[in-house]
Chain A
Amino acid sequence: MDQRDLGIVRYDAGAEYLDALRRLKLEPEALFWAYDRTLEQYVLVIVTSLFDFAGPLALMRLLFDAYNAAATPKEIDPFILRLHSPKHALYRAAQLHIGNRFDMAELKGRSLDRATIAGEVTPPVVMSFRADDLESFGTWVYKSTPVSPKAKTVDTERRWRRFESAVHALAA
C-alpha cells in the first residue's frame, strides 16, 4: 500500500470531522491525518491544549459520546483518533514543516490538490513530517495553528466547559 494514498473519501471525512468539532465548540490547534507505521493504518490526529487541561480520558469520553450521538462522521470511529497535546513532538514537527499558521478555512478560493490526495498523482517531492511511528504529509493537514502565548488557564477552562456542554446537550 502506498502510504501517501490517503483517499478522497477519508480526506473528506476528516474535513467533516473538523466541521463537527467546531459545531461542538471544540477548536483544535491542529487536525490532520497521519499514517501509523506500526499499526499500518491511518489515524486522525487531534492536537488540543484541552489534552493537558482535562486529561486524555475526559476528552476521549466526550468524543466517544459525540460519535455515539451521531454528532461526528460515522466513518471516523473514535478508535482511529489520536489525541495529542501541543507540547508533543508530533505537533512541533507539524509546526516546523507546515509553517506557523495553516487553516483550510482561510484558503478561500484555493483549489485543493485532490488528485494528490486521491492517489492519482504522486508528486516527486511531498512535504512530510514525522514523530515516533506517525508520519503525515502536508496535503493531509486541515489545520495547524500555534497556541496563543497569551492563553490563560481561565480561557482554556472556558473552552473546555463550552465543549463539554455542547456534547452533554446532545444527550438531552
Chain B
Amino acid sequence: MDPQSPAEWMALVEQHEKSARMLAGDRVAAGQAYFHVGVAAESATKAYIMASERLNSWPDRALRPELHTHDLRKLVKIAGIELRTKNPLGPSWKVVLDWDRNQAYDPNPMPRKVARSMIEAAFGLKGVVTWIRETLA
C-alpha cells in the first residue's frame, strides 16, 4: 500500500535515508546506498506533489497513472519544479535525476565516493530532499 499523506511519504524518506547512510561506507554494499537515496528522492518528490496539489490521499493508479512511476524526471516535471542552471541546487538535482533504479541490479561494486556523492546531492545542505523538507515544513 502506498503512503497516503505527505507525512507518510516523508516517513518513508527517513527510512531510506538511514539505510543509505548505513550502507554508503561499506565497500561491498555502497551501490545499495545509491538505490536507497533514489527511493528517498522519489518519495520526497511524491510528498511534494501531494502537498502542492493539496491531495487528501495518494491517487489511485486508475485516476492518476502518471503518478505511479519511479522515474524521478517525470515526477519532477509533474511537481512543476523548475530546474535552472544558476540555481545553487542545480547540480544536486541533476545528479539525483540521473538515478536509475536498475543500477541496484548491477553486480559490480560501486565506489563509496559515488554513493556518498549521491547522499550529499539528496541530503546535504544543498540537497534536493533537504530542500523539499524545508519547503514542506
User: Which residues of A come within 8 Å of B, CB atoms?
Assistant: 38-39, 51-58, 60-61, 63-64, 67-68, 77-79, 81-83, 85, 87, 89, 132
Contacts and interface: CB of A to CB of B under 8 A. Distances in A.
A82 B99 CA distance: 11
Interface stretch (B5-13, B15-23, B56-64, B116-124): B116-124
Contact of B113 (A55, A77, A81, A132): A55
Given A55-B117, A56-B117, A57-B118, A77 B85 contact: yes
Interface residues of B, number: 24
Q: From DSSP, what is the main secondary structure of chain A's interface residues? A: helix
A67 B98 contact: no
B95 A60 contact: yes
A51 B90 CA distance: 18
Nearest to A54: B113
Interface in B22-64: none
A36 to B, nearest CB: 9
B114 A132 contact: no
A51 B106 CA distance: 17
Closest 3 CB pairs of A and B: A55-B117, A60-B91, A57-B117
A87 B110 CA distance: 9
B108 interface: yes
Given A39-B73, A57-B120, A79 B94 contact: yes
B91 A132 contact: no
A68 to B, nearest CB: 6
